[in-house]
Amino acid sequence: MKGHLVSTVPVIAGRDIALPRHVAIIMDGNGRWAKKRLLPRAAGHKAGVEAVRRVTRHARAIGIEALTIYAFSSENWRRPEEEIGDLMGLLRLFIRSDLAELVRENVRLKIIGDHRRFPKDVVALIDDAVARCAANTGPILAIALNYGAQAELVRAAQRLAERLPPDQIDAAALESELETRDLPPLDLLIRTSGEHRLSNFLLWQAAYAELLFVDTLWPDFGAADLDAAVVAFGSRNRRFGGL
C-alpha cells in the first residue's frame, strides 16, 4: 500500500513511500542511556518518556494509523521495586501532562495487557484517560502495559475453546480474540538499542511484520529515526509467503 510521507527530513520529503499502517516499538536502552551519562536508571526512563512524546507526535504527523509501544512487559515485574515505582510514576506524569493533547489530537488511546495489576490510582488514571479518548476517531496509540504475548495467546485459546468446537477454530477466530483485534495488521516492528529479540511482544501479530533492529538507544530515538525506519520499510519487498 502506498501512502504519501509528509516529512521534514529533506532526504525523503515529497517522496512517495509505502507507509506502514501499524508500527510497534520495543523501546529498549533507557538504562544504558543513563549509564553512559553516569545517571540513575530513572533518568533514562524519564528521557524515554520524552522520546515517547516525540515519536508519537511524529507518527501522527506522517500519517501512521496505529502505533503500539511496549511500556511495561509482564516480565518487567522482575525489576527492583524501586525501578517499578519509577516507571509507575512516569506513567502517572505522562497521563497527567499529555492526556489533553491526546484528546485534542483526536487520538484513540488503547491499552493492551492487564494494567489492573498496577497501583490503584494508576489504574484509575489510565481508565479515565481511555474513557476521555473514547469518542475520538483518529490515530490509535496503543500502550502495552503488563503485556505478554504468550499470555494473550493463552487467553485467546481459552476463550475460543469455550465458544467454538475445535474444527471451527481458525486464524481469523484467534485474531478476533487478540487485544489488537481493532488495530490494522502490524506492518513494522522496531526494536531499539541493538538487541535482536521480540521479548514476548506481539508474537502472533509479528508473523508478517517487517522487523527492524536499530542500535539507537530509545531516549535518543526521534522523528528522523522514525522517518528512517519508514524509508527502510518502504524499501522492503513484502511477499507474505508468495513470490
Q: Which residues are annotated as a binding site for Mg(2+)?
A: 28, 210
Query: Which string of x and - marks every residue 69-108 that binds ligand FPP (by CB under 6 A)?
Result: --x----x----------x--xx--x--------------
CB nearer to ligand FPP: give 143 or 160: 143
User: Nearest-CA neighbor of 68 among 77, 55, 79?
Assistant: 55
Binding of ligand FPP at residue 59 (CB under 6 A)?
no
Binding mask 143-172 for ligand FPP (x = CB under 6 A): x-----------------------------
Q: Which of 222, 223, 232, 228 is nearest to 33 (CA)?
A: 222
> Annotated catalytic, 220?
no
Q: 44: which DSSP letter?
A: H
Is 225 among the residues known to form the active site?
no
- Residues of this chain, 39-58, that bind ligand FPP according to CB under 6 A: 45, 48-49, 52
> Facing residues of 111 across strands?
143
Indicate the residue among 175 and 220 with the shorter CB distance to ligand FPP: 220
Residue written as grid cell 481458525:
170
How many residues form the binding site for ligand FPP (CB under 6 A)? 19
CA trace torsion 10, 16, 21, 23 (10° rounding):
-30
Cα separation, 88 vs 49, whole angstroms: 12
Residues that are catalytic: 28, 76
